[in-house]
Structure 1
């Protein structure tokens, strides 16, 4: 009967242990991956943003859904509010360019005095020669102004924050939360969508 030295036995055990541990870790990872649900589900106990905000009753779940609807409506309203502000800022920037300059002949008087300023226009009443079409060019880019760019940056930050909160709610894959976000977006667009016609951003 042959005997194996203690040092060789210990070495063989040490060599087999990492393999066993690695296999156990891999099996644990596969079990954890299988436990992760990537499909929509229904339930009233899904946490929303924090463990404290976890509805435990049907009424609490309904309250969380109503909260998401209101948040989605607010999200669309913020876009509309930004568009209204952008229009006001653009109008103010354009009007700021048309100022009365001292010792300069007004445009109306210069047109009356100059025969070249009269443009013949074909209209419903025929050709009208005493008409001048005045264009007010729109500036390509408004100059940087602290009173405009600071509130714009703050508003964009708030819009992004609300948008990410809605995204996190959808990422829970809870059917009620997902439907609430969609419902809020629909209601918000129904209320203020007409103000967002010229918006270029995606939501």
Structure 2
């Protein structure tokens, strides 16, 4: 029994000893594995190829953020176009019974069309709560949104894992890719969108 407890104690000591030997400093080791031990550059060319891959992956990350924002804008514009409804046309006697509207009230009550003001079309407005308008759930919108977000998160986590290797080349490659991607498509992305 003493022998088994002694083995257990020595194994816990050796595992804690190896944990304390792990370096938490940046390194420039050209043979640092990326994502698995199978992806360990053996040469300087392999290391450079891995860094170029990380640059492209970071650019893709920024492209996905911009693409998602463009899709959100498109979906919002489609939702706004669905707000128009046709209303029943008032007869002359109905109009005589209603109090007359001023020019500004008439412009708010009608919609401008190619043929002028159309009083038979109304814009449906829902009361906005603190400036946020939530669109109803739609399969044609929410499924692609979830897919793009999932791919975007996956790419972000892959970039995070590359940075967590604490390899200077990998870290600078991710930053360079994010810079190039933002420079190329940053104007399409929302300012408040998260990045990894």
1:177, 1:47 → 2: CA distance? 10
1:92, 1:104 → 2: CA distance? 26
Give 1:49's aligned residue: 35
**Greater C-alpha Rg:** 1
2:69, 2:59 → 1: CA distance? 16
Distance 1:181 1:90, change over 3 A: same
Tell me by how many angstroms 1:137 deviates.
Answer: 5.2
Q: TM-score, normalised by structure 2?
A: 0.76
CA contact (8 A) 2:60 2:181 kept: yes
Moved over 4 A (4+): 130-139
- Structure 1, unmatched stretches of 5+, are 1-13, 121-129
CA contact (8 A) 1:117 1:132 kept: no
Distance 1:114 1:132, change over 3 A: farther
Give 2:103's aligned residue: 118
**CA RMSD, Structure 1 to Structure 2 (Å):** 2.8
Q: Deviations over 1:1-20 (max 9, x none)?
A: xxxxxxxxxxxxx54x3554
1:131, 1:149 → 2: CA distance? 35
Give 2:80's aligned residue: 94
Aligned residues: 173
Q: Deviations over 1:6-61 (max 9, x none)?
A: xxxxxxxx54x355434423431232112212111011111112333221111111
